[in-house]
Amino acid sequence: MLYNEPSPHETRILTRRLVYPQAEPIGYEQYAAQQGYEALRKALAMTPDAIIDEVKKSSLRGRGGAGFPAGMKWSFVDRKSPKPKYIVVNADEGEPGTCKDRIILENEPHRLIEGCVIAARAIGAERGWIYIRGEYRRMIETMDRAIAEAYQQGILGANVLGSGTRFDLYTHTGAGSYECGEESALLESLEGKRGNPRLKPPFPATSGAFQCPTIVNNVETFSAVPDIIMNGGDWYAALGAPRNGGTRLFCLSGHVNKPGVYELPMGYNLLRMINDVGGGIRGGKKLKAVVPGGSSCPILKAEECDIAMDFDTLAKAGSMLGSGGVIILDETTDMVKFLYRTMKFYAHESCGWCIPCREGTAWLKKILERLDAGVGVSKDLDMVDQLAQSMFGRTFCALGDAAAMPAMSIIRKFRAEFEERIRSAQVFIPAPETRPLVVL
């Protein structure tokens, strides 16, 4: 179901078939009655190069966080390679503040299936997997039912819509690991191994699942493809901002009157998103800060929030669009506690594969735990910043960066609040004979 009423400010492309409340997922009959799988029929009459060209023209960028151009990624696959080619959907949605992929998985699974089959046509793949977060039990069951329907209707299988091409699609359940949201760790898990990241290069487009050429994209990315093929890449590009085509599912959460998942054009102004779409700050309080793209993104202070929500603009402002998880923080937010809880998450989710991340996230958590408990000292603030800097860009995957970026930005932008916590802490130190034994 949808978890919020649609807003009149939305541009509903991905979510146009959904209603509120949506009691049941859209099945094949309902999907097909509303132009479902028409884009696939069109794609089957196109050459693979023509499909990729339309996706390139659309300026569709990966919706999982990195924002890499989807059409360019698809073009990296060597279709002449004798190895099998694979499609992998990253549905391991684990970024705090993000809950948009589940809207598609739970409500309109055939949209995702159609996008996968079109992508398979583009790169010559005959097999694909939807790697779904283990906690998403209802969504896994919904996708399995939709895949069974697609086989019955000839959408999947040995002869896709009578075209003579084959494509098989399966769901694969993850074990609830945040690390497996990283594409190479996801591929390791898919192969039955521990979900640790791989060294790059080689990249998945040349050596991915089972060392074969593989395209890994997010649920929302694949789900945008049918509309691009149906209406053209230029049409989709015009919906958004330059080099940032289309619409985006934004997850508004935190201290806002109307939290929910909203579909807005790329480049939509953040303050308008908070005030017009989200109904303003809860309780009439003032805005303090915003995390614009999931907990791993550098924070924006209130005075920095009059900004376009697209990959390039936020990068210039020193932050990231990330996964689209927009976390609103009002003036009452304790930034010390907020950062501590964020680091507690990343320390818990680190796979431990590389030392900078394994040790760095643990130490960040310990230092911030001291600060939150009121027993920190001023040099701890410099230590957090230096430790985060030493982690940044020095890990196998982006989890180390995901911990380092919010740590650096919050300490630097709200340092006065941390210093005030240290100054105002009233710590009672018991006599030596009454102190409990602490084992470190």
Task: Summarize pLDDT for 181-196 with one digit per residue, the tens.
Answer: 999 999 999 999 999 9
Using an 8 Å Cβ cutoff, are 252 and 273 in contact?
yes
Distances (CA, A) of 121 to 58, 153, 166, 178: 18, 18, 9, 30
The band of 440, judged by pLDDT with boundaries at 50, 70 and 90, is very low
Q: Report the SS3 class of residue 169.
A: strand
For residues 321-356, b (16+ Cβ closer than 10 Å) or e, as one string?
Answer: bbbbbbbbbbeebebbebbbebbbbbbebbbebbeb
Q: Decide if pLDDT at 69 tops 90.
A: yes
Q: CA distances (Å), 367 to each of 340, 370, 378, in order?
A: 9, 5, 11
Is the pLDDT at 197 greater than 90, yes or no? yes
Q: Assess whether pLDDT exceeds 60 at residue 300.
A: yes
Res 234 pLDDT > 90: yes
Look at residue 1 and tell me whether its pLDDT is greater than 50. no
Q: What is the pLDDT of residue 428?
A: 46
Q: What pLDDT is recorded for position 66?
A: 84
Question: Does 431 score more than 60 pLDDT?
Answer: no
Q: Are 227 and 236 in contact (CB under 8 A)?
A: yes
320: tokens are: 């990231």
* pLDDT surpassing 90 at residue 302: yes
pLDDT for 424: 83
**What does the pLDDT read at residue 22?**
72
Query: The whole model's pTM is what?
Result: 0.93
| 354, two tokens | 């590389």
20 pLDDT band, cuts 50/70/90, is confident
Per-position DSSP letters for 147-160, written without gaps between them:
HHHHHHTTSSBSSG
Amino acid at 302: A
pLDDT, mean of residues 76-86: 96
- pLDDT of 29 higher than 50: yes
More confident residue, 180 or 176: 180
> How is the chain split among helix, strand and coil, in percent rounded to 5?
45, 15, 40
Distance (Å, rounded) from C-alpha 253 to C-alpha 295?
12
Rounded Cα–Cα distance for residues 288 and 333 (Å): 8
Contact 196, 185 (CB under 8 A): yes
**How does strand 325-330 pair with strand 287-291?**
antiparallel
According to the model, what pLDDT value does residue 2 have? 60
Distance CA 294, CA 325 (A): 4
Query: In Å, what is the CA distance from 323 to each residue of 27, 58, 98, 328?
Result: 27, 19, 7, 15
Mean pLDDT of 341-359: 94
Q: Would you say 44 and 63 are in contact if contact means Cβ atoms under 8 Å apart?
A: no
Residue 432 pLDDT grade (very low, low, confident, very high; cuts 50, 70, 90):
very low
What domains are there in the chain, each with its CATH number?
28-239 (3.40.50.11540), 247-330 (3.10.20.600), 335-424 (1.20.1440.230)
CA angle centred on 227, ends 226 and 232, rounded to 5° = 110
Instruction: Look at residue 257 in the predicted model and tell me its pLDDT.
Output: 97
Q: Is the pLDDT of residue 402 over 80?
A: yes
Q: Which range is least confidently modeled, 20-34, 153-167, 248-262?
A: 20-34
**Which pairing describes strands 86-91 and 214-218: parallel, antiparallel, or unpaired?**
parallel
pLDDT above 90: percentage of residues in the chain: 89
- Confidence (pLDDT) at 16: 94
| Distant-in-sequence, close-in-space partners of 429: CB < 8 Å, separation ≥ 6 | none
Dihedral in degrees, nearest 10, Cα atoms 26, 29, 35, 40: 90
The whole-number pLDDT of residue 86 equals 98
Alpha-carbon distance values, 218 to 183, 280, 284, 427 (Å): 10, 30, 36, 48
pLDDT at 349 over 70: yes
Compute the C-alpha angle 237/317/394, nearest 5°: 100
pLDDT value of position 426: 53
The mean-pLDDT minimum among 72-81, 114-123, 325-334, 427-436 falls in: 427-436
Quote the pLDDT of residue 437: 42
Q: What's the pLDDT score for residue 23?
A: 76
Q: Is the pLDDT of residue 226 over 70?
A: yes
- What pLDDT, on a 0 to 100 scale, did the predictor assign at position 176? 83
**Mean pLDDT, the chain, as a whole number?**
93
At residue 276's C-alpha, the angle toward residues 273 and 414, to 5°, is 50
**Average pLDDT, integer, range 371-375:** 91
Whether 429 shows a pLDDT value over 50: the answer reads: no
299-302 CB contacts, 8 Å cutoff, 24+ apart: 299/406, 299/409, 299/410, 299/413, 300/270, 301/413
- Could you count the other beta carbons within 10 Å of the beta carbon of residue 78? 13
Query: Which class for 214: exposed (0-12), middle (13-18), buried (19 or more C-beta within 10 A)?
Result: buried
Sign of CA dihedral 337, 339, 340, 344: positive
Does the structure show a pLDDT above 80 at 356? yes
Share of the chain above pLDDT 70, in %: 96
d(CA 188, CA 209): 8
